Amino acid sequence: MQIFIDTADVREIREAAALGVLDGVTTNPTLVAAVGRPMREVLSEICEIVPGPVSGEVLATTYEGMLAEALELAKIAPNIVVKIPLIRDGLRVVKVLTSEGIKTNVTLCFSPIQAMLAAKAGATYISPFVGRLDDVGHEGMDVVAQIVEIYNNYAFETQVLVASVRSPTHVLQALRMGADVATIPLKVIDQLIKHPLTDVGLARFIADAAKIPKAT
């Protein structure tokens, strides 16, 4: 499974890239607003830091507006993936972009049926938002399981990108379900690394190492 980081903060991206496990980046308008920089400038810098797929989202909601913005975003760098919301005109835009060879990430997906439509439109990635589903009393990861099943049943090539990840448990479930990608905030990436028994074990090794006699 590929690991993307879910942020527009280049400091966080550099930190995650330095770990050697980072495959790509996702952003959204909220994340870009949080860093207080123009969309094009920040995406361009991220694309220089990470050679893998970098998702940047359109802000328009009309067919013409989304298409025009998508074509502009695609010019930023070869590794840009254009994020399009899962709405009626969004699906039309995905179809056109796919025919032009532009990669797409269909965002704000909350059901397996929506995911099927995105795949038929030719989306490169589908982003089910598992944390936001959990927030309203659904099992977000059940939606991922159903999408994986449906995509396997019909050999859809769209990759399942688990988004709105809030915990290591989401990541573990995504791995077990065979999701293609999880996009993860830095805080959760850190939680994946840490284990209390690792810390206890390391402290003991350090203490015992001090007792090893020095060579004479």
Tell me the catalytic residues.
Answer: 83
DSSP notation for 73-135: HHTS-TTEEEEEESSHHHHHHHHHHHHTT--EEEEEE-SHHHHHHHHHHT-SEEEEBHHHHHH
Based on the shown chain and the rule CB under 6 A, indicate whether residue 168 belongs to the binding site for ligand E4P: no
Based on the shown chain and the rule CB under 6 A, indicate whether residue 183 belongs to the binding site for ligand E4P: yes
User: Which residue's Cβ has the minimum distance to ligand E4P?
Assistant: 164
Of 6 and 9, CB closest to ligand E4P: 6
Asked if 124 contacts 99 with a C-beta cutoff of 8 angstroms, the reply is: no
Based on the shown chain and the rule CB under 6 A, indicate whether residue 6 belongs to the binding site for ligand E4P: yes
- How many residues comprise the chain? 216
Of 160 and 163, CB closest to ligand E4P: 163
For residue 203, the minimal CB distance to ligand E4P (Å) is 34
DSSP notation for 179-214: -SEEEE-HHHHHHHH--HHHHHHHHHHHHHHTTSPP
| Residue 160 φ then ψ, to 5° | -85, 115
Based on the shown chain and the rule CB under 6 A, indicate whether residue 127 belongs to the binding site for ligand E4P: yes
How many degrees, rounded to 5, is the angle at CA 62 between CA 56 and CA 63?
85
Based on the shown chain and the rule CB under 6 A, indicate whether residue 132 belongs to the binding site for ligand E4P: yes
Based on the shown chain and the rule CB under 6 A, indicate whether residue 163 belongs to the binding site for ligand E4P: yes
How many degrees, rounded to 5, is the angle at CA 79 between CA 75 and CA 82?
65
Based on the shown chain and the rule CB under 6 A, indicate whether residue 109 belongs to the binding site for ligand E4P: no
Q: Which stretch binds ligand E4P (CB under 6 A): 44-52, 73-81, 123-131, 198-206?
A: 123-131
| Binding characters for ligand E4P, 133-162, by CB under 6 A (x = yes) | ------------------------------
Q: Which stretch binds ligand E4P (CB under 6 A): 14-22, 90-98, 129-137, 193-201?
A: 129-137
| Binding characters for ligand E4P, 19-48, by CB under 6 A (x = yes) | -------x-x--------------------
- Amino acid identity of residue 176, one-letter, is R
What DSSP designation does 138 have?
S
- The residues of the shown chain that bind ligand E4P, judged by CB under 6 A, are 6, 26, 28, 107, 127, 129, 131-132, 163-164, 183
